[in-house]
Structure 1
Amino acid sequence: MRRHLMLVAICLPLCGFGSCTRFIQADQQARLRASEMRQECVALRERVITFEEERSFGDAVSAQWVSEGGGLTTRGDAEALHVQLNKIGRNLAAQSSRPHLPWVFGVLQSEGVNAVSGPGGYVFVSEGLLARLDNEAQLAGVLAHEIAHITGKHALNEYQDYLVGQCENSAQVEEGSAYQEATAQVVSSAGQRLGQGFQNLSQALPASTLREAFARAGSKVQGFDFDQSGREFIRAVTRGFIERMNRKGFRQEDEFAADLEAVELMATAGYAPDEYVSFLAKLPERGGLSTPHPAKTERQVRLLKHLEQLRQQNQASSDFETPVDLSATKVVPLRDELLNRRTPTATR
């Protein structure tokens, strides 16, 4: 109602009743389109993401992670390193709730301390992280943490929220489009008499490439297909999602859940989970990774408490129970290409 009155207030003095009627009709149509788009937003939030979409989105996100990480490592032993990394990673993934994903593990050229993952089974660690490892168990902890993000579908939940947010933003832009267009037409027709003081009103609601792309795809939400959404849309969504992750990271509860799942995967695969806690201690206080993480001290406290609970469960278990067994785990030393990357003088 307030916007309706504003339109009348602008239109009547400048353009007369006839023009004002057209503008108000356009405003009503825009409100209807916005309402329809909001219904699409609800459908978007409630839909189930298929594995095909997860894999396609994971392909796009992982390509972006590789690009931001300077590409995959090109050192002379890169092929052997990737073989070694994939043996370790797939052994851990085999213990997870999604062992049959087409898991891929890679090393980024970046010298920063970083580990990232993409939906569908992609996990990457940086050269800088490998240089700071004391043993293979620490690497296993990092990989297991990223595996847990994938099996928990944490990135897919963020992706869903991101799409819904963009849909709702697009609905707001759509609802404001008639007012913006009407204002621009009024200013244009009255510009010579009133000067250019009101010209900036027509720029009140600029539409970004992403919002425009999503608005075009809005009517296809029920049968949404990431692959068929067009290059512009895919690039915009992927870029926007990565920017969001670099700025916000995962929810804290997802990070803590990934930590707890990681030490259980480590133990099941035979690695000493305490080494992951030790690796966290070597990171800077804010996490040391490119995406935001909870404070390392809180992560360590939660992990140590969880490991103690697992040990108590082992002592109290019967022959018919199968708790995570920490007694048979080992601190596996670095070998071959991983050993070659260890930097003795690196800041630890």
Structure 2
Amino acid sequence: MRLRSTRHWLLVTSALILAVGLQSCAVNPATGQPNLVLMSESRELEIGQEEHEKVLASMRVLEDQRVNEYVSEVGQRVAQGSHRNDLEYTFTVIDSPEINAFALPGGYVYINRGLLLYLKSEDELAAVLAHEVGHITARHAIQQQARGRLGNAAATVGGVVAAVATGSGYIGSELAQIGSIWAAAGVSGFGRDNELEADSLGAEYLYNAGYNPRAMIDVLSVLKNQEDFNVRVAQRQPTYHGLFTTHPRNDVRLQQAVAQAGNLPDDEARESDHAVFRSHMDGLLFGENTSVASDRNRYYQDLMSYTMVFPDNWSVSDTTTTVLARSPGGGASIGVEAQRLRENKEPRLYIRENLGITDLQRSEPLSQYRLLGHTGVHTNADGHQERIAVFYLGPRVFVIRAEIEESEMSEDLESLLFSSIRTFRPIQTNERSASNGLRVRYVQVTQGFDWGALAAASPVTQYPEQTLRLLNGYYPIGTPESGEWIKILQ
């Protein structure tokens, strides 16, 4: 009787292992290769719907219905040429100045208003959306979940790479508090191989939709220029964190991936009307949308070029080099202080040697928005528990002290303080004009055009010439020809 039971248990167990193995090694619908996944497609669709609702609840959608419909029209055209054209795709424009795009499982694609501003054609718009569709068709997020890496992506949502997986632009700080590890993973990127695969699939989908597959390289070049500018302005050394270490036009693997999509014959290429693209982009807001009420307690320190979000309803006071936010009841505070970085050392050693904190607990490195840092918890001189964090930004060290004036730091309060610290980042170029309400306008270039003269008349106060060059795809050099349409800011 025991032998029969043992045999029966072995048969059942073997069947379960086989069933799990078949699901774990499901064939990738986009590549035809076996992939490790632990989720059915029906569950994938459920997760997509659930996470989409979280995105809509925490991020503003652009109110311009005409732009939303145009982006959706282009996206649907691309999606129909994909390997999973049976999915019901949803394309959403997020009203954020940050240069970003990401996707959720099951057919949900998002692109920020800030990224739209830097695109030059419908083909480039299609390329961004096609890349994100490639992540969905190849089930990259599902693969990450199966490998147990999804939580890691969420933990680094402060910044490794931008979605479009180019290593360009900064990760949307809204996602630091979105509460969706799936959205966080999409923004953080899926590693060089998966990002290259998304570009290869995206180029194929562009071809199928009648767009020029080379637009994939064009849009990556636009974003790479944005990255180079941010690194130069912030005085930080570039590090490997994205799809390529070289410029996209010199990246051999990327060139090969795009070339495999093929070259469209002239009679099959879609003739995108640039006037249509311009008509939809003309008038888009440049910078933060300050006309929409928000309960986000975001603080900007223009002199030190950083920003962060403090907990809602906390009071904020500042000086030229410090800021202090206090909870309504006064039982907790977050302070930021800038110090001069005088020697090159690890942030962890800076805490120990320069700040004199030797009892650091829960010590861990921080890497967010391309800033190096370190954090941990200790008991300060007043006997209070304090989370300390330092970040290197340009020639300065920023020291953040989150103090609890209670005997113990509760888990919820600790999470609130850490979430605020995770929002610390440099101010982006297009945020510097937030209060001006600047909008993109198109004009035609005349004979004798000069970037310097245009910049001198521009209302942009910080890096006007570089900003205008980036907007028009002429960074760091180049001049448009007479009669060409360019974007200005008014």
Pick the TM interval, shorter chain: 0.5 to 0.7
Relative to the length of structure 2, the TM-score reads 0.40
Equivalences, count:
221
Which residue of 49, 54, 67 corresponds with 1:59?
Answer: 49
How far off its partner does 1:249 sit?
2.2
Native 8 Å contact 2:102 2:183 kept in 1: no
**2:221 counterpart residue number:** 281
Percent identical: 24
Q: For residues 101 and 310 of structure 1, do their structure 2 counterparts lie closer, same or farther at Cα, with a shift above 3 Å needed?
A: closer
Instruction: Decide which of 264, 270, 293 is 2:204's aligned counterpart.
Output: 264
* Structure 1 residue 66: Cα displacement: 4.2
Q: Kindly state the Cα deviation for residue 284 of structure 1 after the two structures are TM-superposed.
A: 3.7
Write out per-residue CA displacement over residues 7-27 of structure 1, whole angstroms, 9 at most, x where no aligned residue.
Answer: xxxxxxxxxxxxxxxxxxxxx
Q: Where do residues 156-305 of structure 1 align in structure 2 (5 Å cutoff)? A: 156-162=142-148, 239-244=180-185, 246=187, 248-284=188-224, 293-295=242-244, 297=246, 299-300=248-249, 301=251, 302-305=253-256
Amino acid at match of 1:99: N
The unaligned stretches of length 5 or more in structure 2 are 1-15, 25-36, 153-176, 231-240, 285-439, 443-467, 472-490
User: Match of 1:282, SS?
Assistant: helix
CA contact (8 A) 1:72 1:107 kept: yes
The alignment status of 1:85 with 2:24, answered yes or no, reads no
Q: Which residue number corresponds to residue 347 of structure 1?
A: 470
Between structures 1 and 2, the one with greater helix share: 1
Letter in 2 for 1:325: L
The answer on whether the counterparts of 1:106 and 1:123 sit within 8 Å (CA) in structure 2 is yes
1-structure distance, mates of 2:178, 2:148: 8
Following superposition, the deviation at residue 133 of structure 1 comes to 1.1
Secondary structure at 1:347's aligned position in 2?
Answer: helix
Letter in 2 for 1:126: N
User: In structure 1, what is the Cα distance between the partners aligned to 2:71 and 2:183?
Assistant: 24
Which of 255, 275, 279 is matched with 1:336 structurally? 279
Q: Is the 8 A contact 1:144 1:266 kept in 2?
A: yes
Runs of 5+ in structure 1 lacking a partner? 1-38, 167-235, 312-323
Q: Distance in 1 between matches of 2:185 and 2:73?
A: 31
> Would you tell me which structure has more strand in proportion to its own residues?
2
Displacement after TM superposition at 1:264 (Å): 1.4
- 1:49: how far off? 1.7
**Distance change >3 Å, CA 264–CA 296, structure 1 → 2:** farther
Q: Could you say what secondary structure the match of 2:148 adopts?
A: helix
State the alpha-carbon separation in 2 of the partners of residues 241 and 277 from structure 1. Answer: 26
CA RMSD of aligned residues (A): 3.7
Paired residue type of 1:275? A
Mapped partners of 1:310, 1:326: distance in 2 = 13
Distance 1:165 1:148, change over 3 A: closer
Indicate the structure whose relative CO is greater, using CA pairs within 8 Å and at least 6 residues apart. 1
How far, CA to CA, are the matches of 1:164 and 1:307 in structure 2? 28
